[in-house]
């Protein structure tokens, strides 16, 4: 039986390999466009206090995104980044985890530079997987004006139980990718 840490490491290795393979199929770009591109693998851990139930309540949402294994040809010094944000949400329930949303987040890169972006998120549960996809634009800082896409996935069991009234969601643990590309 794999430990949680072993599963997480395995997931990051698999995502890294898939990302490496996917980049081989990206179309060639001009030299100036290539300098504005970044690709990262990472994790997103979201905590809800109090835990979400299937009944609306006011909660505080803590979002911690840790981008690792970043590659940016135009900014080779950018190797990792992260963001930690807190949102206060009125009338939130676990059923709303599947509702579209818009968020503005700031990534602080290992260089000290920042990237602020606004994305529109959609979420779904397919089988036992919870997937959140975000599409948006960098509004300030490094990569300003570039398009940004994020894709996260993780287990959906707690969400499924909660929406059925059989449990709560205190934490959502996801792994994913971030891609910043020229518009």
Position 4 scores a pLDDT of 52
Distance CA 167, CA 173 (A): 16
Q: What burial letters (b/e) apply to 77-107, b meaning 16+ CB within 10 Å?
A: ebbbbbbeeeeebeebbbeebeeeeeeebbb
Which one-letter DSSP state was computed for residue 112?
S
pTM: 0.78
Strand, coil or helix: what is 101? strand
Position 37 scores a pLDDT of 86
Position 89 scores a pLDDT of 87
- How many Cα atoms within 13 Å fall on the side-chain side of residue 60? 4
pLDDT tens for 70-108 read 999 989 999 999 998 998 889 999 999 999 999 999 999
Domain range list for the chain: 37-181
Q: Give the whole-number percent of the chain exceeding pLDDT 70.
A: 80
Q: Which 3-state string (H, E, C) describes 11-56?
A: HHHHHHHHHHHHHCCCCCCCHHHHCCCEEEEEEEEEEEEEEECCCC
Q: In the chain, which stretches have pLDDT less than 50? A: 1-2, 6-35
Position 36 scores a pLDDT of 54
Distance CA 46, CA 43 (A): 10
């Amino acid at each position: 039986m794999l430990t949680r840490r072993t599963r997480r490491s395995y997931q990051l290795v698999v995502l890294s390999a898939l990302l490496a393979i996917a980049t081989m199929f990206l179309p060639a770009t001009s030299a100036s466009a290539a300098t504005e591109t970044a690709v990262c693998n990472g994790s997103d851990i979201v905590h809800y206090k109090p835990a979400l139930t299937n009944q609306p309540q006011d909660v505080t949402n803590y979002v911690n995104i840790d981008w690792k294994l970043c590659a940016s040809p135009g900014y080779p010094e950018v190797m990792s980044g992260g963001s930690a944000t807190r949102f206060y949400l009125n009338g939130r329930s676990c059923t709303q985890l599947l509702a579209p949303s818009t968020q503005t987040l700031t990534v602080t890169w290992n260089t000290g530079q920042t990237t602020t972006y606004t994305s529109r998120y959609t979420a779904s549960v397919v089988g036992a997987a919870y997937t959140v996809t975000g599409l948006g634009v960098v509004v300030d800082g490094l990569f300003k004006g570039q398009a940004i896409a994020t894709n996260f996935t993780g287990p959906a069991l707690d969400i499924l139980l909660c929406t059925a009234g059989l449990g709560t969601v205190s934490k959502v643990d996801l792994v994913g990718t971030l891609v910043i590309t020229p518009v």
